[in-house]
Structure 1
Amino acid sequence: MKKIQTFKLVGLIAMTAILSACDLDGNDHASADDTVEPIETPQTYVYEVTLTNITQGQMISPPAVITHAAGVKLWEAGEPASVALEMLAESGDSSELVALPDVEHSVASETGLAPGESQTLTLELSDTDSMSLSLAVMLGITNDAFTGVTDLDISGLELNESYQQSLMAYDAGTEENDEIAVPGIGGEGFNASREGDVDRVAVHAGILTELELATSLLLPEHKFDNPTAQLIITRVQ
């Protein structure tokens, strides 16, 4: 009778050991299958965008810098200006440009640039963002002249490397250059009508002052030639 009980006890211990081994083996497989992949933190890129007004007497509207997908252009020579660009070129208002659906990031100043002045805007992006940049400002003492750069690829800039470009003046082709309705000296700003102009963007031919045109309200110091501004973009992080 005692031998039978001993056999039962030994069998029970053996069964318990087998079940424990099965549980351990199952847990090992669960750990391997449930491995959590590390989450990659996006890399941050920081750029300083510096604009300098190099004209003799033109005021420049508050600059606005935007980023967007490659291939998006705020303007193209020979093509009609968008309404957003027209507003910028006729009144210095960049609010419609920064609100365009293709814009991913934007940073804008609240103050314009007098001749000889510079402003630096800081732009922060990540490695998941588009790296095409555009900037546009109005030459304030004109009817619809502007300057800037569009669809500039900055993805190749290394840390502490700079890109520099001289910026020419463009005529938005949306308002007749009468040298009278000029917002920078108290004249009209944005007007939706494009009657009397060519309705296409072109390199600006320059302005006529009171010395060349009796009806002009512009002074000799308001004249400009290309380039009109200097752009420097530096990657600082």
Structure 2
Amino acid sequence: MDLKSSLLAMPFIAVSTLSQAAVVDVKITNLTQGIYYTPLLVTAHTSDAHLFEVGTAASPALQMMAEGGDISGLVTIADGIGAVSSANPAAGLLAPTDYVMVSDLDTGSNTHLSIVAMLLPTNDGFVGKDSWEIPSEAGTYTFYMNGYDAGTEANDEIVNGGGASGTPGIPANPGMNGGTGGSGVATASSNTNIHIHPGNVGDQDATGGMSDLDSRIHRWLNPVAKVVVTVK
């Protein structure tokens, strides 16, 4: 039998190009100078699942997270589809320039990674990565995350203790470095789908103006986070 015939006679072995399950470490660094992250949700899931999708309307669970930092609805969804998650790994807020490490996350049969957290102080801004494919090969991989606008609330930039879905206003300014008495930057959201956040406007009036945020502290440009994933 010649070489060609021998090759044709060999059994066919299917080689999958999809990511294989892995144990991973995930390091998330806040790259901003004045924005805090509310409790993070880091979750490994199947390729057809999404915590959010840019260009589509936010789900009620995503709205809860983006307006008030409440990840419980997203955790329930993740648990219901067999995802493997780390909820609130920083045990609270992640301050500017700080990082948090999720160690030894066993992804099981899940092949994609998503990350979300609210950005404070914003009305409905969040940092996120949607459905990043986990490499099958061991190694260290880096990507960056943008700040998104959920499109569910006007960016009025008024800090009033709000945060419940559909209630205007910013829940808090954790750095306590803004102003009060703002008249409001915007009264409506022109894009009601999830989109790149336009950034905070702010002003430099501590007792009035249009915003309760300080333009010297609370403005940002994307990306707002760095993620280093170690596949073991």
Question: For the superposition of Structure 1 and Structure 2, which TM-score range results when normalised by the shorter chain?
Answer: 0.7 to 0.9
Q: In the alignment, is the contact (CA less than 8 A) between 1:44 and 1:124 conserved in 2?
A: no
Q: In the alignment, is the contact (CA less than 8 A) between 1:66 and 1:103 conserved in 2?
A: no
Aligned to 1:173: 151
Q: In the alignment, is the contact (CA less than 8 A) between 2:28 and 2:228 conserved in 1?
A: yes
1: CA distance, partners of 2:126 / 2:222: 12
Superposed displacement of residue 191, structure 1: 2.0
Pair 179,50 (structure 1): closer, same or farther in 2 beyond 3 Å: same
1: CA distance, partners of 2:51 / 2:105: 21
Aligned to 1:112: 93
Q: In the alignment, is the contact (CA less than 8 A) between 2:135 and 2:231 conserved in 1?
A: no
2: CA distance, partners of 1:46 / 1:72: 19
Match of 1:152 among 122, 132, 138: 132
2: CA distance, partners of 1:172 / 1:48: 28
* Runs of 5+ unmatched residues, structure 1: 1-42
**Amino acid of the residue matched to residue 162 of structure 1?**
T
2: CA distance, partners of 1:135 / 1:115: 17
Q: In the alignment, is the contact (CA less than 8 A) between 1:61 and 1:113 conserved in 2?
A: yes
Match of 2:30 among 33, 53, 60: 53
**Amino acid of the residue matched to residue 112 of structure 2?**
S
Query: SS of the residue aligned with 2:83?
Result: strand
Q: In the alignment, is the contact (CA less than 8 A) between 1:67 and 1:103 conserved in 2?
A: no
Q: Normalized against structure 2, the TM-score is what?
A: 0.74
**How big is the alpha-carbon RMSD for the aligned residues of Structure 1 and Structure 2?**
2.3
Match of 1:81 among 58, 76, 99: 58
Q: In the alignment, is the contact (CA less than 8 A) between 1:45 and 1:125 conserved in 2?
A: yes
Superposed displacement of residue 60, structure 1: 1.0
Aligned to 2:188: 196
2: CA distance, partners of 1:47 / 1:107: 12
Superposed displacement of residue 44, structure 1: 7.9
Larger radius of gyration: 1
1:135 correspondence with 2:106: no
**Amino acid of the residue matched to residue 196 of structure 1?**
A
Alignment of structure 1 residues 157-236 onto 2, 5 Å? 157-158=137-138, 161-180=139-158, 182=159, 187-192=161-166, 196-197=188-189, 198-211=191-204, 214-219=209-214, 220-236=216-232
Superposed displacement of residue 62, structure 1: 1.9
Aligned to 2:173: none
Pair 89,224 (structure 1): closer, same or farther in 2 beyond 3 Å: same
Q: How many residues align?
A: 187
Q: Counting helix residues as a fraction of each chain, which structure ranks higher? A: 1
Superposed displacement of residue 155, structure 1: 4.1
Q: In the alignment, is the contact (CA less than 8 A) between 1:107 and 1:122 conserved in 2?
A: no
Q: In the alignment, is the contact (CA less than 8 A) between 2:47 and 2:111 conserved in 1?
A: yes
Q: Provide the identity percentage.
A: 34
Q: In the alignment, is the contact (CA less than 8 A) between 1:174 and 1:193 conserved in 2?
A: no
Query: SS of the residue aligned with 1:96?
Result: helix
Greater CA drift, 187-196 or 114-123? 187-196
1: CA distance, partners of 2:31 / 2:67: 20
* Runs of 5+ unmatched residues, structure 2: 1-19, 169-186
2: CA distance, partners of 1:125 / 1:117: 24
